[in-house]
Every structure is written in C-alpha cells, then in structure tokens.
Structure 1
C-alpha cells in the first residue's frame, strides 16, 4: 500500500512538472513593440518604423514594420510618436540614501530602514528608464538584499551591481568622522595596509558584492578630508584592484584629486569616479590604461541650491563649491582628450529618479547627444563586462528597452521623460 502511494505521489509530481512546463511554454508568447523610430546607439543611425520582437527576456528579431510577422499569440505594443532606446545604465548611485533626508538624520537609520529606502529608490530609478545601475556604497549590505529581491522577482527595480561597503583608510572619506572618539564609530569598509584591504575585498564578495569601490582621495560629503588629497597609497590601491580582478569583478575608485586619480589609474582600476582635478597627464594615463571616467556633473546644482536647507554642513558646501567648476572643466578636458566615459550621476546627492537630468549637462560641457547616450548604454555595458547582453538593441540581447517622445539626438532633454520601460522582457511602465 505504501509503495502504491509513493508511486502515485511520484506520478502526480511528474504530471505537475509537465503542466508547469506546458504553462511556461504557453506563457512564452512573443511581445511585439513598434514605434516611430529606434536609435542604434553603436553608430547613431535611426531606424524608421521599427519592429522589435521579444521572447521571454531576450530580443529575438529587429526590423522595419511589415518585413516579418510574429507568432499568433503575440502581444502588440504600439508606441506612436516614440523613439526606442536601450535601457539606460547609471554607473554611480547610492540607493539606500536620499538627498532630501536631513543630513544628520540619515546617520541614525538602521540597516532595515536603509533597505526600505533602497526599495523605494530602486523603483524610482527603474521608472526613470535606468534598467541597470552600479551602487557604489551602502550600509550593512542593504542594497545587496534589495538586488537579490529584484532578481527573485519580489520587488521592482533595475539590475544592480552592488559594491557593499566602500573601502577607506581610517579617518578618510568613506569612514565616519562625524561622531566623537568616545563613541568609537568606524565604518565597516575601513582597511589600512595592502593585506587588510585585500581581506576587506574578500569580505565584501563573501557577503554578495558584485563590484568593488575604494576611496582614493578625500571627498565632499565627509568631515575632515580634503577633496584633493590622496588617501590610499599606490601599493594599497594595487592590492585592492588585483584582488578585485582575481575574483572577476570591476573596481571603481573615488578620486577627486590629481595625484589620487593618477595613482588609481596606474593601479589598474577600471573606472575613476568624480575626477574633479584632472590634468593632461591624467588624460594621457587614462587613455594608455583604458580607464573609464564616471563624472557626476549635474548634482552640484542640487547641492548648492538645496544643501543648506537639507542640513548639509558649511564645510561640505564649501568643498562642493571648490570642486564644481573644476570638475566640469575636467569633464570637458576628458571628452576632448578622448577618454572613455560612462554615465555616473551619484544619485542620492540629488533625488533618485532625476538621473537623466545629467544628460543635458554632459552635452552642455562637451559631448554630442550620441556620446552622452553611449555613456549610458554601450560604454557601461563594456565596463561591466556585459557587452554581449546589455547596452544596445540587438538580436540576442536582453530586452531592456525604453521609449521617449521625439528624437534624443536633436533634443537630449527628452530622456528626462521616459514613457515606456521594459526590463528583461517585462513591461514596468507604459
């Protein structure tokens, strides 16, 4: 009797698996997207009256409307008056923080509270058309938890590469210097010396980091650091980068100051963030080593307009005034010099969801509209070693598709109002 029961259970399980497979196949109907135009960001060519066929999470066909047909059960989405683009990629965000939160109030946030903030901001970011982001520093691995929830289909948000704890020297930018010594507060990413830094990289990866960031110089939003002063030694930077690359990940260096920028490049870092005080030698080194620059040239406007109102201390506002003009001049120098660039907004210094406002500043300070769009599509895909899946609208690529009204090559500000968002073949905004 027990044997018969077991046989019946096994048959039921097999039947259930078969029904699930059939349901999955039935649910794999194609989605057909049509629009007025589609931009090939690799060459700047515009395809008129495009038709994109998506099956599951991938693009399976692209052509002009009427040149081929989709399956009988295909779902059609007509985006009249729209231009199709690849989902945007922002290579520098902090999802667990808000610019609008009073400066010191956020320091009291627990890890669960930071996680809730990150969930909110992940959705805002996705709705703005950014289907992939790199989060370069959070507390308690909160963004890694949000990333895993997104990947499990439990919450909505972009594809996330998360660095976890940003590495810092004791008392440097990315350490917490705001509290008195008797409280003995030390940020979780602090590591002094090459072997301690290697250990911290390994610890971050152990707890789920799929990117690494270290602070090579002082920064704007820390206490007691000077933005132009180098923090980590070249030996320490090389140890961090080597350990990161050994594990197959991409390393980013926060660096405002000239010496720190150059040291990070020589250490082999994949991208340098901020790059406020750049000279011609730095440009030449970046080109020699193939280093990407990620320069947040919009958020200064928000900080200097609303920072005092949000409780940002005068020390930090003064440092922002020190770097803002210099950073934009450095951006122009890097573009003219032919350095590889990626879109990095540092969202959290200004409100999440406003990421695309940086596009117009990138054009204002030296890029063509196509270069600005490439900085948020094909370039970050290559930086993050995702160039076979992301960054362009191509057959076989993941179906990350956004739509805007009008032609972004003629008016880049249309990117600030994304009307349609698809990530991994799922429509999130229409």
Structure 2
C-alpha cells in the first residue's frame, strides 16, 4: 500500500511539473526603430514592445532587454530597429472562401462549403501576409467561414482574426439570390427572405448558427447576373426589421448599398455601416453623420470589376454594364463622404479583388484625396471601432492583442511600403519576418 501511495505521489508531482512547464509564460521583445503605436498620434523613435504570450505587456522608450522588466527571466529579441512598426491592419469587407475569376460559374455548381473552407485557408494566409491581422467576412458559405474562424481561434490554422456574417441576407430574386441557375443546382450562399417578419427570421437564423455580424443587401449589386440595376431592393420596412432584430440580439449590421435610395433607407433603418456607398448624396452624408454609421468604400472592388469589364470576357453582359457604371463612381463616393465628415472604415471586398493585394486599397484611398495618416486610421482605429473590438486590437498598448506589422520604409511618406510588410505578428505569433 505504501509503495502505491509513493507511486501516486510521484505521478502527481510529475503531472504538476509538466502542467507548470506548459503554463509558463513566453516573452518576446520587439525593438522598433520607428513606432506608430496609435495611428492618431505621432511616431516615436527607438521603442521596445514587450509581448507576453499573445498580449502586449508593455511599451517603453529605448531598446530594453528582459533584465529591464520585473519577472521576465528571458525573452526572444525581434530586431526591427530599421523598420517602421505599427498595429496590424483590419479589412472590414472580405469574402475569403472564394475569388472572382474565369472558373466562377463552374465552381458555383461543383464546389461545396468544405471546398470554400479549404480555399479559404490559402486566401487567409495571403491576407495575413499582406499585413491584415483581422478581417470581417461579410457573406459566404456559412459552415465554411465559421469553421475557418473557429480553426484560427483554436490555433489549428494560421490566419487573421475573423468576424463572420454567415450567409448574406437577400430578397428573393435580388442581389445575393442564385439568379440565372436552375433551382436546386447551387448550395445556399444567401439567406432569402420576403417581408418584414420573414427577414426577422433570416436574421435570427444567422445568429443561431454563429454569426458575429449581419450583412444584407439593401440594393442591387454588380456581380449578380440580373439586369436589375443597383437601386433599392429590400423595402424600408424590411430593412428596419433586419436592423432592429440584429441589434436586439447584440449584432451590428452591414448593408451592401450602391443606389442612393437604398443607401438612405439603410441609414434611416439604423445600420452600422454602408458597404460601397457608390451613389451617396448630400442627404446620405447628413444621415451618416446623424447616425454615426461608417462608410466602407471598397474602391478596389470597383476598380477590379471595371478593369475586368474593359479587358476580359469574364463578366456576363448584365454584370459588365453595371461594372462600367459603378467602377468609376466608387472612388468619387469616398472623396465626397470624407469631405462631408463621414466616418470611414477600411474595406476591400477581397474576393472580388485577389486575396493578398488588399494593400492596394490604401493607395486608392490616397488617390481619392485622403491624407495618408487618415487612411491608416481607417485601417486600424476606425475599423476596430466598427467591428466592436477596440478593446482587443487597433492600437499597440498594454493589454491589447499582439497584432503588429512592420514596413521597410515610412508609410507616412509612401503608403505603398505597406503593400508588402516585412514583418507580421498576429496574436503574438510571428507569421512573416522576425528572423
């Protein structure tokens, strides 16, 4: 009996020692030559960032070592003394389970949601390598995107943090419905509803399955294969029902909207963001400012479909006509909303454009007339606020997630240096650089 007790005690000690070893904190120290810890503030030189596990533990002046911090025995040093360091960026409008291209029509009828998830693993790695440590996915195969989100959260795959909408909510026959295909051919990618009560059901259904945010189509869109233009599709009553239901269940709402009437109806309904906003007018700007909603411009999507319409045969006749109209107008919409004092959050519609070229949107926003620092604010502080995660990411300070990137040049002088970051850390894990 005594030997059994001794053995049990020894085993318990081994297990406790193993647990303590597993639970031991891991530290990294970043030496940043230039640090823009908050994009609303000024750059600081020669800064040290202490990271404990996946969180920022301290930000201090000078180049410090483990010995300078209480309780830190050793820490890996990451030398970014010749780099420009800033918070990881946030893309507020992505579709990471697919990518626009020649094979889209065939893929629509051959791919499953599982295929979308597999493809998403590759696309998300490209987005992360581009410096985007958080994305908001606003529509796509529901099971696929939720699996990707959860797989990243659980550490099974590398990728940016995901906030996911699940299926886009669309009216029957509207942008988001399976127009042009025989009924039953496609797996669902949208939640179809008609009338206010049915729209409430559609919202609740997305939340039931795990949606972080609700996305609906207030107007027609470019890539739906239907000659219905870009005007309002859901009624005012339906839009109000969608927004009220989502808000009552703690979810923010993003409204795809191109046409003026649909934009303004969505803003009156209380949406949290207008995606695209191509034909916003003076009344729109007043409504934006009154409600505090964000404009997510997605210029890159407009430019991409315009270029496709002009140079390829990949779009249908209905799609091409809308692409040539919307593409040139979408940049002007951002110019007008920024001048009008509307809050702007960064978003690309990645998936219409190639995944991994998300940084081109930064250049296009500067081309639209925004100061460089204002653009950086849209991709960090503002996007975090829109997504409701300002207490998690968007700035580099104690207690925040260690989402950190570095550029080879100074993006405040040349925004293009951010198109290919030389260092990317997401939630304390180095993905690119740091050698």
Q: For this structure pair, what is the TM-score category when the shorter chain's length is used for normalisation?
A: over 0.9
SS at match of 1:59: strand
Query: 2:363 is matched with which residue?
Result: 360
**How big is the shift at 1:314?**
2.6
Which position in structure 1 is the counterpart of 2:224?
222
The question of whether the paired residues in 1 share the 8 Å contact of 2:141 and 2:188 is answered with: no
User: More displaced, 375-384 or 178-187?
Assistant: 178-187
* Alpha-carbon offset, residue 228 of structure 1: 2.9
Distance of 2:235 and 2:14 partners within structure 1 = 60
* Equivalent residues of 1:100, 1:310 under 8 A apart: no
- TM-score (structure 1 length as normaliser): 0.94
SS of the counterpart of 1:415?
helix
> Judging changes above 3 Å, is the alpha-carbon distance between structure 1 residues 194 and 80 closer, same or farther for their aligned structure 2 residues?
same
Aligned positions of 1:56-95 closer than 5 A: 56-66=53-63, 69-70=68-69, 71-95=72-96
> After superposition, where does 1:22-61 map in structure 2 within 5 Å?
22-26=20-24, 28-61=25-58
**For the residues of structure 1 that align with 2:340 and 2:268, how far apart are their CA atoms?**
18
CA spacing shift, 1:134–1:183, aligned 2, 3 Å: closer
In structure 1, distance between residues paired with 2:417 and 2:405: 12
Task: Provide closer, same or farther for how the CA distance between residues 15 and 326 of structure 1 changes in structure 2, counting only shifts above 3 A.
Answer: same
Q: What's the counterpart of residue 411 of structure 2?
A: 408
* Residue in structure 2 matched with residue 234 of structure 1 by the alignment: 236
Q: How many residues align?
A: 427
Structure-1 residue corresponding to 2:200: 198
Distance in 1 (alpha carbons) for counterparts of 2:323 and 2:146: 29
Per-residue Cα deviation, 1:316-356 (whole angstroms, up to 9, x for no partner): 12211111222211110000001001011000111100001
CA contact (8 A) 2:46 2:63 kept: no
1:270 is aligned to 272
SS at match of 1:31: strand
The equivalent of 1:322 in structure 2 is 325
Deviations 1:56-81 (A, max 9, x none): 11111112224672433111000132
Alpha-carbon distance in 2 for matches of 1:268, 1:14: 58
SS of corresponding position for 1:214:
strand
Query: Equivalences for 1:82-161 in 2 at 5 Å?
Result: 82-108=83-109, 109-161=111-163
> Alignment partner of 1:50: what SS?
strand
SS of the counterpart of 2:192? coil
Given candidates 419, 423, 426, the residue that maps to 1:423 is: 426
Using the size of structure 2 for normalisation, the TM-score is 0.93
> 1:244 maps to which residue?
246
In structure 2, C-alpha distance between the alignment counterparts of 1:165 and 1:302, rounded to whole Å? 23
- The equivalent residue for 1:253 is 255
Give the whole-Å Cα distance in 2 for the aligned partners of 1:272 and 1:282.
10
What CA distance in whole angstroms lies between the structure 1 residues aligned with 2:54 and 2:186? 48
Give the secondary structure class of the aligned counterpart of 1:45. Answer: coil
Contact 1:141–1:165 (CA<8 Å) still a contact in 2? no
C-alpha contact (below 8 Å) 1:227/1:256 kept by paired residues: no
| Distance apart, 1:42 and its partner CA | 4.2
* Range moving further from structure 2, 167-176 or 114-123: 114-123
Indicate if the aligned counterparts of 1:44 and 1:370 stay in contact, CA closer than 8 A.
no
Task: Quickly say closer, same or farther: Cα 1:267–1:225, change in 2 above 3 A.
Answer: farther
SS of the equivalent of 2:423 reads strand
3-state SS in 2 of match to 1:302? helix
Counterpart CA distance in 2 for 1:223 and 1:13 is 66
Whole-Å separation in 2 of the counterparts to 1:200 and 1:118:
25
**Counterpart contact for 1:228–1:277, Cα < 8 Å:** no
User: How far 1:22 sits from its partner (Å)?
Assistant: 1.3
CA shift, 1:209, in A, is: 1.2
The alignment's C-alpha RMSD in Å is 2.2
SS in 1 for 2:199: helix
Structure 2 residue ranges without an equivalent (≥5): none
Q: 1:374 to 1:317 in 2, by over 3 A?
A: same
| Structure 1 contact 252–272 (Cα < 8 Å) conserved | yes
